Amino acid sequence: MSHFQPVPGGSRTVIRDRYALIGPDSHVPSVLPGWTQTTAHILISPAMGAGFVQTLLILDKKASGTGNTGAEEHFYYVLEGSCRLNGKDLTAGHYGWLPPSSKFEVQSSASKVMRFAKQYEPLVGTPVPAAFFGDSAKVPETPFLGDPQARLRSLIPETDLGHDFAVNIFTFDPGATLPFVEIHIMEHGLLVLEGGGIYRLNDDWHPVAQGDVIWMAPYCPQWFIAKGPGPTRYLYSKNVNREPHTLPLHPKG
């Protein structure tokens, strides 16, 4: 991802109360404990108001990362190159989901990985799902709300109520759109994998391209039209399958 800056002091990145658009030109690395030879860009986090963390991990030839997911679930998606996650060899388009309280062990022979991490919310009477791995190319596409030009791949089986977090890949043909301006309680973390278009976020319209990351807060109005000439694909997360939390009652008096 290049540090292209069209105008001195200018950036396409905007951080608003209800959304953020983060272009590759504004990435700044962090050092993460447990990771060696790794450049980590923490792009979305609770520090901006999000309920999850989305981190781009750029792993060198002999990079490694070890730790425990603790109270969180982790989702790893390989963007480029190859790496090994908990003994499983993964290449571009492959992914892995780890439950809370599990060890993670990553070794890389140079790769770029997008990681989503969220506090796991257990559901009484429903078992916590086991770790699993997959290849996005093998996940069938389904037309989104009946539109064959906008197709969805679900990488985490949402039908298992043990899962409280979805990660999907949306593919749009040129000119295809989200069918209406969505407004919903679920929040999103998004990465444009390929192509681009115009994203409506709240009351703003932004051109977006490959490598752009978007955070959409709950109830942020959202709409998208894909540009072409090729397909546009984006990877995005969504909290699912849980009742919203209520706030404690205000004490009287």
Residues that bind Mn ion (CB under 5 A): 182
What number of H helices and E strands is found in the chain? 0, 18
Q: Which does 121 bind (CB under 5 to 8 A by kind): ligand UGY, Mn ion, none?
A: none
Least separation in angstroms between CB 12 and ligand UGY: 19
The HSE-up count of residue 248 (CA atoms within 13 Å, CB side) is 3
193 φ, ψ (degrees, to nearest 5): -85, -30
Q: 178: Cβ–Cβ under 8 A, 6 or more apart, which residues?
A: 144, 150, 222, 223, 224
Task: Among 118, 188, 200, 233, indicate the residue that binds ligand UGY (CB under 6 A).
Answer: 188
Q: Rg of the chain's alpha carbons, rounded to an integer?
A: 18
Tell me: does residue 222 bind ligand UGY (CB under 6 A). yes
Tell me: does residue 135 bind ligand UGY (CB under 6 A). no
Tell me: does residue 54 bind ligand UGY (CB under 6 A). no
Q: Which does 170 bind (CB under 5 to 8 A by kind): Mn ion, ligand UGY, none?
A: ligand UGY
* Residue 159 neighbours by CB distance under 10 Å: 8
Least separation in angstroms between CB 214 and Mn ion: 11
CB 167 within 8 A of CB 116: yes
Tell me: does residue 41 bind ligand UGY (CB under 6 A). no
Tell me: does residue 182 bind ligand UGY (CB under 6 A). yes
Contacting residues toward ligand UGY, per CB under 6 A: 170, 178, 182, 188, 222, 236, 238
